[in-house]
Amino acid sequence: MRALRCNLLVNSRNFYKFTSFVGVRSVSDKVSSKPVTSGDPETAGDHLIYTQEHFALKESLRKIIDQEINPHVDQWEAEGKFPAHKIFKILGSAGFLGVSKPVEYGGLGLDFSYSVAVAEELGNIRCGGIPMAIGVQSDMATPALARFGSAELKREFLLPSIMGDKVACLGVSEVGAGSDVSSIKTKAVREGDEYVINGGKMWTTNGTQADWICLLANTNDGPPHRNKSLFCLPMNLPGVHIARKIDKLGMWSSDTAELFFDDVRVPCKNIIGQEGMGFTYQMLQFQEERLWAVANILTMMDNIIQETIQYTRQRRIFKQPVLYHQSVHFRLAELQTEVELLRSLLHRATALYIKGNDVTRLASMGKLKGGRLARELGDSCLQFWGGMGFTSDVLVSRFYRDSRLMSIGAGADEVMLGIICKYMDTLPKN
């Protein structure tokens, strides 16, 4: 299996793309926004799921982050939007938007552990909004299309999304139907060779810049888990309206839109897989989405702890560094321990998933713990920064705002608890 992965990496044209990308561009030694990392001692020889190829992938991506993204993050945060087409083209040309997607559509054809490695490395971007937007493109709007879409749809939507030529968004949540996906109201009524779509979507990441949307809509009046379908819907069709760009508590550099669909006509061939299977496809997709989110926030938490150690080592109170107070260094030790426990859960779930196991229970546990730990860690570390932590000048305050979404997006904590209870057979029977 490892030999097969090596061959895929060596033979894939996209692997040469990301290695040549970092080879032809010199990374500036003067980038002051380079994150502080925890110096994880694990290497390919002793890591549970990563090989030398995983670390090569991460190293190449890190160079792109340091050169093309982090120097501009503060500007994009202030502007409330990052240039998705530009950044996605850079990442797509280097092979990072489809590491686990089919080679024939521009992907690297690798297993999901490589997507987890990429998600971890994207955590070194110094905000939460841009990694989230990238994750929507690579692991939220496209998995169902890659698995169940027709060859024609994959050529039209998947290939350019992997290459970074098109920006994708995911249309699931609605006003009154966020975590409860079964309650969506958007309808797609078939008329001849077309579906006519009416309704709206909320909290749509990449929504103001997207070229197409992976849209979930009701296609019949049957049971809520069997009446939905996924569509590839171009955003330039008549009747597609971007109502507004939503002003958010955090994730400032990620554009989030409210969308409306008014008699939008889309060909029947744009349905992904079978009609009525959209809910099932979306639930399968959630496993990867939740594992991706955990991987991404782990690196962010590592960086927050390390930057807090540096700051409290320099800042003095009562004639000694803040770090030397037992309540501070003990608390940081507790938080780092919790991060490592979550990392172990993630890697175990990933190892099981790439072997074909259903990891819904573990993915839900990871998502639940990740959101709660991020809130706990952000609050504790911000406190140690004192007044500086209450400014917008430091990463910990940005993390405090951005990470709050972890317990809401892709299924709220309460939904995760319900899923876990279902697997434990402790939910009350109606």
290 closest CA partner among 156, 419, 121: 419
DSSP string, 229-296: EEEEEETTSTTEEEEEEPP-SS-TTS-EEEEEEEEEEEEGGGEESSTTBHHHHHHHHHHHHHHHHHHH
Contact 82, 251 (CB under 8 A): no
Of 53, 77, 120, 289, the catalytic one is: 289
Q: Assess whether 289 carries a catalytic annotation.
A: yes
Cα separation, 120 vs 109, in Å, equals 19
371 closest CA partner among 304, 309, 298: 298
- DSSP-assigned letter for residue 50: -
Cα separation, 394 vs 210, in Å, equals 30
The residue with tokens 């809520």 is 224
44 alpha-carbon distance from chain centroid? 24
Cα separation, 400 vs 308, in Å, equals 13
Catalytic residues: 289
